[in-house]
Amino acid sequence: MIEEDVAETSRAWLLDFGSGLQAAVGHHEMLQVLISPTLFDIPCVSPYCNEVLIHEERILPVLDVSSMLLEKQQVTSPPTGYVIGISLYQDDPTHPIHYGGLHLATTPQSIYVSDNQACDILAHQEYWKPLALSCFSHEGVAIPVIDMAYLFSEAFNTFIQSSH
């Protein structure tokens, strides 16, 4: 009997951060999507994370990934129609779950990814390298799977501030 190689398939969320930045996270790493929630601006903080929202009695940071990685000026959220994804992450499986908001250009797309879609990060997508756990090809585009805990970490924030 010939054993067939069966590629493992996983569910993921495809996130569009705007400015051509797309990345994927595990299906369990997105909690909710909010349309035009009330955002509060905070002074004297990082330019890519200067807003927060109140979610279930917690104050969550709202991160603009395209501003963080591409050093773009953060655009003030329009009065209506903007999308905020609530992600969850753990620094370590033994640590409590943390929540964070992400500015998104559109609502996340649920996709299936198989092992045989694996590819390398493209040279012009260098900015994803510190965050990427792996990468796959989706509709002809290389999509990194990003480490959400590292994205929201002090270490990555320090790295970004020293490299800007």
Partner 1 sequence: MERIPLYVLLVFDGRYLFIPQEEVESVEIIADVQITRSSTSVIGWFFGHGNESPVFCLAKDLSLLSEIPKSREYFVLLKNEQQPLGITCDEVENINFKREHLHPQELHPVMRIVGSPVRQLLVYQEKIACVCSGAALVKHLNLQLEPLEQSETT
Interface residue list for partner 1 (CB under 8 A): 40, 42-46, 49-50, 52, 54, 57-61, 63, 100, 151-154, 156-157, 161
Smallest distance, partner 1 to C-beta of residue 5, A: 41
| Angle of CA points 54, 56, 58, to nearest 5° | 55
Least distance from C-beta 117 to partner 1, angstroms?
A: 30
Minimal distance, residue 89 CB to partner 1, in Å:
11
CB of 74 to partner 1, least distance (A): 12
Is 67:48 a contact under the CB 8 Å cutoff?
yes
Per this entry, what is the length of the chain? 164
Radius of gyration, alpha carbons of the chain: 17
Closest to partner 1 by CB, 50 vs 77, is 50
**Beta carbon nearer to partner 1, 72 or 137:** 72
Q: Which is nearer to partner 1, 43 or 140 (CB)?
A: 43
What whole-number distance in Å separates Cα of residue 60 and Cα of residue 18? 21
Q: Widest CA span of the chain, in angstroms?
A: 67
Nearer to partner 1 (CB atom), residue 91 or residue 126:
91
- Strands 51-55 and 109-114, by their bridges, are unpaired
Could you list the beta-strand ranges (E) of the chain: 9-18, 21-26, 30-35, 40-41, 51-55, 58-63, 83-89, 98-104, 109-114, 132-138, 141-146
Give whichever of 14 and 52 is closer to partner 1, judged by the CB atom: 52
Question: At its nearest, how many Å lie between partner 1 and the CB of residue 48?
Answer: 8
